[in-house]
Amino acid sequence: MSAAPVLDEDEFKNRDSQGLQPLTEKTGTEEQETSKYQSMLLFKLPLIGQALCWSIYWVCGRVLGQQEVYDKKFEVIHEYQLGYIFLAVWIVCMARSASICQANGARAPARVDRPDQHVYRIMSASGPLKDSPYVMMANTGPQGRWNRAQRGVFNADESMPMVLVNCILAGSVFGPVVPCICLLIAYGRVTFTVKYKQSASARLVGFMPAMIGEKLLEGLVLLCAIKSVFYGSIPF
User: Binning pLDDT at 50, 70 and 90, where does residue 2 land?
Assistant: very low
User: Residue 179: its pLDDT value, please?
Assistant: 97
SS3 per-residue string spanning 144-198 = HHHHHHHHHHHHHHHHHHHHHHHHHHHHHHHCCHHHHHHHHHHHHHHHHHHHHHH
Residue 38's pLDDT is 97
User: Using one digit for the tens of pLDDT, what is the confidence trace for 201-230?
Assistant: 999 999 999 999 999 999 999 999 999 999
- pLDDT value for 88: 97
pLDDT (mean) for 72-94: 96
Res. 235: pLDDT tops 80: no
- Counting every residue, how long is the chain? 236
Residue 231: is its pLDDT beyond 60? yes
pLDDT classification of 98: cutoffs 50, 70, 90? very high
> Residue 9: what pLDDT?
74
Residue 27 contacts residue 109 (beta carbons within 8 Å): yes
With cut-offs at 50, 70 and 90, classify the pLDDT of residue 8.
low
Q: Which residues are 120's β-sheet partners?
A: 135
Share of the chain above pLDDT 70, in %: 97
d(CA 220, CA 208): 18
Q: Residue 7: what pLDDT? A: 44
Mean pLDDT to the nearest integer, 7-11: 67
Confidence at 79, pLDDT banded by 50, 70, 90: very high
Output the average pLDDT for the chain: 92
In order of 31, 34, 201, the CA distances from 103 in angstroms are 11, 8, 19
pLDDT for the residue numbered 6:
44
pTM of the prediction?
Answer: 0.88
Report residue 217 CA to chain centroid gap: 12
Assess whether pLDDT exceeds 70 at residue 145: yes
The Cα-based distances of 187 to 56, 109, 167, 178, 218 in angstroms read 20, 33, 16, 14, 18
pLDDT of the residue at 210 = 97
C-alpha separations of 48 from 45, 93, 211 in Å: 5, 16, 12
Domains in the chain, CATH or no CATH each: 30-109+142-229 (1.20.120)
Q: Which residues contact 179 (CB under 8 A, 6 or more apart)?
A: 171
